[in-house]
Amino acid sequence: MKQISSILLVFVIIAFCVPAKKKIKILMAGDSTMAIKQPRAFPETGWGMPFVYFWDSSITVIDKAKNGASTKTFISDGLWESIMQNAEAGDYIFIQFGHNDEVATKKSFTTENEFSTNLIKFISDSRSKNAIPVLLTPVARRKFDSAGQIEGTHEAYSQLVRNVAAEQKVLLIDLDKKSQALYQQLGREGSQLLFMHLQKGEHPNYPDGKQDDTHFSELGARLVAELVLHEIEENIHELAQRIVSRKS
């Protein structure tokens, strides 16, 4: 009995001696593909929603992504300021835009020069708080050619993100390329499962059905989040060691 008590005492001492992991926030700036969805939108799911659940208790994820957001509207709507108010030294800020910046017919449109300038502002502001910016190219839409090959839909704006990341020496997750590879692996038919493809009467939130190759189903959001996690495991060691088991 005394031996058991001694062993327990050793474990208690070790527990108190091992320093606790530093608390880190991951703040997320982006558009509808990353955003938290309202129940009425279900099963539409932003990849930021499952992303929250892969971390140990030392990580807090704050997802400020918004439907329809571009770099311009994220600033004008006060969302970027909100991120800056929450950001502290050592936090990570994940920045994924392009879907709404690139569409000239939308109010959210930004020119290529404005887009790059806004990304540089996000980087500069993050660094002023001693936070760590991470740029992500916009996640790919689902588009296949007649031969069954995936086609890029963000070519210009994804390249702008890559250029800014290289020029500013910022961590880059090329989510456009990674997600295209995922869709290609699943093929034209299989990749439909990742998106909002619903038949008429299939779901009460969409009684007329839906055919949407931009926004994700629960499965799609989960797999895209896993793409991001894999890149973190490969390139951001401080965060990688805080990822918990992904077995479901």
pLDDT digits (tens, 9 = 90+) for 207-217: 988 999 999 99
- Whole-prediction pTM: 0.89
| Packing angle of the helix pair 155-168, 112-128 (nearest 10 deg) | 40
Q: Are 133 and 171 in contact (CB under 8 A)?
A: yes
- Cβ atoms of residues 28 and 48 within 8 Å: yes
Residues 101, 68: Cα–Cα separation, whole Å: 9
Q: Helix, strand or coil for residue 190? A: helix
CB neighbours of 143 closer than 8 A, spacing ≥ 6?
A: 150, 151, 153, 213
pLDDT at residue number 246: 57
Higher-pLDDT residue of 230, 17 = 230
Count of domains forming the chain: 1
Structural domain range at position 136: 23-240
pLDDT tens digits for 164-198? 999 999 999 999 999 999 999 999 999 999 999 99
Q: What is the pLDDT of residue 161?
A: 98
- Calpha distance 88→154 (Å, rounded): 32
In a domain, 69, yes or no: yes
| Domain contains 16 | no
CATH code: domain of residue 51: 3.40.50.1110
- Which residues, 6+ apart, have CB-to-CB distance to 187 below 8 Å? 148
Task: pLDDT band for 13, please (50, 70, 90 cuts).
Answer: very low
